C-alpha cells in the first residue's frame, strides 16, 4: 500500500487473499454504496473467521412463539447473513467457543482445550482462586427509609445530600456501579500489598479489572497510597490506568508489555481481550461480568508462558465472588431476546392479537424491559407514568406480573399510550444518568479463602475427588489404567483423563493446593499420584522425586554406556516436564533431535520401548 493512500473499498480481482472485518463485509454485502461493487456469491473459495464466537442477534435465541408470530428478519444476525452469503468453505476459529458458534459453523472439527495446552507446555496453569471476603461485600450496603445519603450526580458532576424515599439495598455486584464504596477498594488493595500477594517491585506484573473509568482512577490512587505506606515509596508510573480514555493507550500497553513499569495495570475493558503480556502473573477481579466468554478471555491474559522471569502458575484474586456468579450464567436465558423491540410494539401485540402465546410473551417482555427502564426515568417521565397508570413504575411492574393475562390485555386496551411514553427519548445534551450513592461507612477483611467451588472447603474438595475416582474407576478406562497399570498410560490417555477431570472441576493445581492446606505439607504430586492416593491410599510423592528415584533404580540396575545414560537422563528430563513419555514421544521433540527410536534401538541393542517400559514401571514400584 502506498504511503498515506487510503485502502480501496473494493479489492483488486487478482489479489489472492483478502483481509476484512466482519463489519466491512456486512457493509459491502447488505449496504453497498453507489460506487461499490457487491462481491459475487462465488468470489471466494474459503473464508476464515477469527474470533468467530462474536455474533450479534442469533437465530437460536428465537423462541417457538417468536418464530411463529414475529418477522424473523428482525432477528437475523447480520454476522450470519454475511457468512451465509458466500458459496465457500467457512472455517471459524475461536479460543472461547459458545453454543451459538455451532449454529453458524456446525460442530467443531478440531478442539484443543486449555487443559491440553497446559499439559503440552504451551500455556500456564493457574492456582485455585483466592477469594477476598470483606464485611461490605458479604453483608451488602443498606439504607433505611428517610436515611440521609450522599449521591454523586454524574450528569452535573456534583455531590448532593438527600433523604432516601425508600429502602436502598446494594450487593457487591452494584459496588462502584450504583454505589461508590471507597472503603471496599481500600481494604482490598491494602490486603493485596500488605500480604505480599502483589509486589510492585518484582518482575511479575498484575492486571486489575474495574467497573468504570472512575473506579479505575480510585483503584490506582488506593494502590499508590498503600504501596507508599508499606514499601516506603511508590515509583512513578508503577501503577497506571490503561483504559479507552487514557492518553495514548497503545503506548501505555507497549510499555506495560516491554518495560518494567507499569507493574500494575488497572483497566476496565481495554485489556480484556487481544493483549499479549507474558509477564502477567496476577489477575485481580474488582468487577463482575455476566459473560463466560468474556471471563475466559480475561483469564487468558495471564496464560502466556514467560521463562524470562521464571513464571509458574498464575494467581487469581477474586474480591467480588465472580466464580460463584458465573456458575449460574450458563443456565440463564434472557427473557428479552430482541433488545430493540419497543414498548409500543409489545403493547400492540397484547391488544391487537388474539394468540395467547404471543400475548403472554409480550407481557413478560414488557415487564422485563420495564424493570430496567424504571431506573432511568426522569422525574417528568415518572410523573406522567403515575398520572396514566395511577401508581409508581416499580409497583405497577409487580402488579402486572401477578395479573391474569386477559386482565392485562384489557388494561392495556383501556389505557393506550403507556408504550409511547416509555419509548420517548430522554432529552438533554449529556443524556440522563442516575445518581450514584456514595457510601462512607468502613469496611474490613473478614476472611481469605481458596476457591474450589461453591461452598467447598479444601477437605470437601479432596473428599469429592476421592468419591469421583471411586465412582468412576470402572467407567473410565484411563482411571483403571492409572490404578492398575500406571506404566501403560499413554500421553493421549492422560490428556483425555485431564480434560474429563477438568470438566468435573478437578485440576492438578487445585488438588495440590487443597492437599497443602489440609495436610500442611507441600507435595508437588501429579494427577496420577492423586488418583492412586484416592483409590489405593498410596502415599503421595513429589513427581520430580519419583522420577529421580526411578532413574536411580534404572542406572544402578546394570552397567550403561555413556550415550545410553544420556538417553535415560533425557527420558527423565522429559518425564518431569510432561508426566508421561510413551512410544509416540520417542520420535518427537527432543528425542527426534537425538535420532529418534531408530538410533535408540541400535544404541540400547534392544527395542528402546522395552527400556522405556522398565523406566515407567520403576516409577511405581
Largest pairwise CA distance in the chain:
99
Do residues 120 and 410 lie in contact, with contact meaning Cβ atoms separated by under 8 Å?
A: no
Strands (E) located in 249-394: 264-267, 280-285, 315-318
Neighbouring C-alpha atoms within 13 Å toward the C-beta of 428: 9
Place of cell 461485600: 137
Do residues 350 and 408 lie in contact, with contact meaning Cβ atoms separated by under 8 Å?
A: yes
Calculate the CA 535 to chain-centre distance: 33
Q: Which run of H or E residues covers position 143?
A: strand 141-143
DSSP 166-196: S-EEE-GGGBTTTEE-HHHHHHHHHHHHHTT
Q: Return the pLDDT at 429.
A: 32
Dihedral (CA of 43, 49, 55, 58) sign: positive
Q: What is the pLDDT of residues 227-246, one digit of tens each?
A: 999 999 888 899 999 987 77
State how far the alpha carbon of 176 is from the alpha carbons of 141, 170, 181, 320, 435, in Å.
12, 10, 6, 12, 12
What is the chain's alpha carbon radius of gyration, rounded to the nearest angstrom? 30
Rounded CA gap, 467 and 464, in Å? 5
Q: Count the neighbouring beta carbons within 10 Å of the beta carbon of residue 321.
A: 21
Q: Return the pLDDT at 431.
A: 37
DSSP 358-378: HHHHHHHHHHHHHHHHGGG--
State how far the alpha carbon of 306 is from the alpha carbons of 79, 203, 266, 544, in Å.
36, 11, 21, 21
Query: Which parts of the chain have pLDDT scores under 50?
Result: 1-3, 56-61, 75, 330-339, 426-433
Place of cell 531408530: 598
Angle between helices 477-484 and 491-503 (to 10 degrees): 120
Angle between helices 213-231 and 182-194 (to 10 degrees): 40
State how far the alpha carbon of 248 is from the alpha carbons of 106, 196, 209, 546, in Å.
41, 31, 19, 52
Strands 315-318 and 280-285: parallel
Q: Which run of H or E residues covers position 118?
A: helix 114-119
Do residues 223 and 197 lie in contact, with contact meaning Cβ atoms separated by under 8 Å?
A: no
Q: Return the pLDDT at 330.
A: 42
DSSP 520-533: S------HHHHHHH
Q: Return the pLDDT at 571.
A: 93
Rounded CA gap, 149 and 160, in Å? 8
* Residues above pLDDT 90, as percent of the chain: 30
Amino acid at each position: 500500500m502506498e504511503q498515506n493512500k487510503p485502502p480501496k473499498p473494493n479489492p483488486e480481482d487478482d489479489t489472492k487473499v483478502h483481509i476484512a472485518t466482519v463489519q466491512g463485509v456486512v457493509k459491502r454485502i447488505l449496504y453497498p454504496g453507489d460506487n461499490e461493487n457487491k462481491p459475487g456469491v462465488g468470489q471466494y473459495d474459503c473464508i476464515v473467521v477469527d474470533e468467530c464466537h462474536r455474533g450479534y442477534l442469533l437465530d437460536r435465541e428465537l423462541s417457538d412463539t417468536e418464530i411463529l408470530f414475529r418477522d424473523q428478519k428482525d432477528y437475523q444476525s447480520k454476522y450470519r447473513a454475511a457468512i451465509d452469503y458466500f458459496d465457500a468453505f467457512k472455517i471459524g476459529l475461536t479460543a472461547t467457543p459458545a453454543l451459538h458458534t455451532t449454529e453458524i459453523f456446525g460442530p467443531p472439527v478440531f478442539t484443543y482445550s486449555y487443559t491440553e495446552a497446559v499439559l503440552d507446555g504451551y500455556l500456564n496453569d493457574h492456582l485455585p482462586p483466592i477469594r477476598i471476603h470483606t464485611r461490605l461485600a458479604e453483608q451488602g450496603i443498606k439504607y433505611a427509609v428517610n436515611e440521609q445519603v450522599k449521591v454523586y450526580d454524574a450528569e452535573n458532576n456534583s455531590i448532593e445530600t438527600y433523604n432516601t424515599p425508600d429502602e436502598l439495598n446494594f450487593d457487591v455486584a452494584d459496588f462502584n456501579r450504583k454505589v461508590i464504596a471507597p472503603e471496599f477498594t481500600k481494604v482490598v488493595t491494602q490486603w493485596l500489598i500488605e500480604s505480599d500477594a502483589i509486589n510492585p517491585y518484582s518482575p511479575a506484573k498484575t492486571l486489575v479489572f474495574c467497573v468504570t473509568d472512575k473506579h479505575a482512577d480510585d483503584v490506582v490512587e488506593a494502590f499508590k497510597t498503600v504501596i507508599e505506606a508499606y514499601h516506603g515509596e511508590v515509583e512513578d508510573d508503577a501503577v497506571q490506568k490503561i483504559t479507552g480514555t487514557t492518553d495514548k493507550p497503545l503506548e501505555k500497553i507497549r510499555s506495560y508489555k516491554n518495560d518494567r513499569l507499569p507493574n500494575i495495570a488497572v483497566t476496565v475493558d481495554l485489556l480484556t481481550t487481544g493483549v499479549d503480556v507474558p509477564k502477567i502473573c496476577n489477575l485481580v477481579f474488582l468487577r463482575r461480568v455476566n459473560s463466560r466468554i468474556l471471563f475466559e478471555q480475561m483469564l487468558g491474559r495471564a496464560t502466556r508462558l514467560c521463562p524470562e522471569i521464571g513464571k509458574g502458575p498464575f494467581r487469581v484474586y477474586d474480591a467480588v465472588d465472580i466464580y460463584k456468579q458465573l456458575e449460574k450464567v450458563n443456565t440463564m436465558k434472557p427473557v428479552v431476546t430482541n433488545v430493540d423491540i419497543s414498548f409500543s410494539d409489545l403493547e400492540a401485540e397484547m391488544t391487537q392479537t388474539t394468540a395467547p402465546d404471543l400475548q403472554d410473551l409480550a407481557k413478560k417482555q414488557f415487564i422485563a424491559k420495564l424493570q430496567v427502564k424504571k431506573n432511568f426515568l426522569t422525574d417528568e417521565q415518572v410523573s406522567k407514568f403515575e398520572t396514566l397508570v395511577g401508581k409508581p413504575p416499580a409497583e405497577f411492574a409487580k402488579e402486572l406480573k401477578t395479573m391474569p393475562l386477559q386482565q392485562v390485555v384489557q388494561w392495556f386496551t383501556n389505557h393506550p399510550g403507556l408504550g409511547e411514553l416509555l419509548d420517548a427519548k430522554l432529552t438533554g445534551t449529556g443524556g440522563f444518568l442516575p445518581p450514584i450513592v456514595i457510601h462512607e461507612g468502613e469496611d474490613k477483611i473478614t476472611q481469605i479463602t481458596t476457591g474450589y467451588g461453591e461452598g467447598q472447603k479444601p477437605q470437601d474438595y479432596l473428599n469429592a475427588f476421592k468419591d469421583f475416582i471411586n465412582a468412576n474407576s470402572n467407567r473410565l478406562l484411563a482411571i483403571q489404567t492409572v490404578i492398575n497399570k500406571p506404566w501403560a498410560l499413554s500421553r493421549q490417555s492422560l490428556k483425555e483423563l485431564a480434560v474429563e477431570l477438568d470438566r468435573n472441576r478437578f485440576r492438578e493445581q487445585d488438588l495440590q493446593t487443597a492437599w497443602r492446606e489440609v495436610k500442611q505439607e507441600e507435595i508437588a504430586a501429579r494427577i496420577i499420584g492423586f488418583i492412586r492416593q484416592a483409590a489405593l491410599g498410596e502415599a503421595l510423592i513429589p513427581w520430580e522425586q519419583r522420577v529421580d528415584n526411578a532413574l536411580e533404580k534404572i542406572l544402578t540396575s546394570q552397567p550403561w554406556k555413556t550415550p545410553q545414560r544420556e538417553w535415560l537422563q533425557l527420558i527423565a528430563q522429559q518425564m518431569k516436564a510432561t508426566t508421561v513419555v510413551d512410544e509416540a514421544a520417542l520420535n518427537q521433540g527432543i528425542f527426534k533431535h537425538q535420532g529418534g527410536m531408530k538410533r535408540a534401538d541400535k544404541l540400547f541393542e534392544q527395542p528402546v520401548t522395552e527400556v522405556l517400559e522398565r523406566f515407567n514401571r520403576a516409577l511405581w514400584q
